Structure 1
């Protein structure tokens, strides 16, 4: 059984990680270093979620998994090995403790592999970043109401897209899906009710509900 690590970060970002020993079954080239090297397979994925204040997931966007192989010399002195492993892991924001916990377990696994007489194994590391956008229910209305019917794909695709070249004269507007500013250079879409959102955000929202997040204007649904 692999070791599980989980830590929640501020600003609605969470990272999870799992580490397993596996036989080397994929062609990864020749080990360019010494017999003290261990193969790592680093897998990283981002999952973007839109949640309510009860942490119920309303919408989810799963980005493609990115994987790469790398050899690590586990015979190096501890500090050099630690820094090498830290540099290979993705940036986890300001939570250095999370990455150091992963490195600590990797070093333990790596030394066990080198001391074992079994077949050569690799360390398979999976890291997932969850990016959460917490929706404002006071403006979005009831998320469990009868209007949670997706808009038609034709309606979503036909939404006009434009680049916002200047901010609102009365101040910077906010996208009421992700609750972030709509600044200069943002790609936006305007619903027929005249409410403006980030194009990516409103497209995701309309795949869940055919109603405008602000005024409940009804977009066409699939027949």
Structure 2
């Protein structure tokens, strides 16, 4: 059933098994957590850390899939994603934010006092998130501001 749902969404069949394994493992972990909580048991820190780690890994898989699907979709239109130049990426500024916002790539909260990377259009992101993005696409994921490419 999951495989046919993934196929209908256009996900590469090569990735089906690994995605299904991650979904099943994540569902089992959630089920265990709920049963422990219902029984009034204190959930051990090691298990909570494992759940968080698994959740982050699953989010990265989903972000990779979304990026891959976007690239495939754009290639069909003749306007494939073009990476930003390395020099432009290295020139990005970092700053410390005062109040919390969200990184619009990973959707994780940026708490006050966090160091962020600032695009020339003033949008902020986790440094690792925006660098990874710019190595695949030369546009801001929020406003489509265009960064320099090798072809410019």
Range into which the TM-score falls when normalised by the shorter chain: 0.5 to 0.7
TM-score of the aligned structures, taking structure 2 as reference length:
0.53
1:196 aligned to which of 124, 139, 145:
124
Which position in structure 2 is the counterpart of 1:132?
59
Q: Give the C-alpha shift of residue 213 in structure 1.
A: 0.3
Structure-2 separation of matches of 1:94 and 1:196: 28
Structure-2 separation of matches of 1:196 and 1:130: 23
TM-score of the aligned structures, taking structure 1 as reference length:
0.37
How many pairs were matched up?
97
Write out the 4+ residue segments of structure 1 that deviate beyond 4 Å after TM superposition: none
Q: Give the C-alpha shift of residue 191 in structure 1.
A: 1.1
Contact residue 173 and residue 181 of structure 1 kept, 8 A: yes
Task: Tell me if 1:153 matches 2:57.
Answer: no
2:116 match: secondary structure: strand
Q: Give the C-alpha shift of residue 219 in structure 1.
A: 0.5
Q: Give the C-alpha shift of residue 132 in structure 1.
A: 2.3
Which position in structure 2 is the counterpart of 1:187?
115
Q: Which runs of 5+ in 2 are unaligned?
A: 1-20, 28-46
1:155 match: secondary structure: helix
1:93 aligned to which of 50, 67, 73:
50
Task: Tell me if 1:9 matches 2:56.
Answer: no
Higher relative contact order (CA 8 A, sep 6+): 1
Which position in structure 1 is the counterpart of 2:146?
218
Counterparts of 1:21-60 in structure 2 under 5 Å?
A: none
C-alpha RMSD of matched pairs (Å): 3.1
Q: Which runs of 5+ in 1 are unaligned?
A: 1-5, 11-89, 96-128
Structure-1 separation of matches of 2:146 and 2:80: 9
Q: Give the C-alpha shift of residue 186 in structure 1.
A: 1.8
Q: Give the structure with higher Rg (CA).
A: 1
Q: Give the C-alpha shift of residue 203 in structure 1.
A: 0.7
Is the helix fraction higher in 1 or 2?
2
Q: Deviations over 1:21-41 (max 9, x none)?
A: xxxxxxxxxxxxxxxxxxxxx
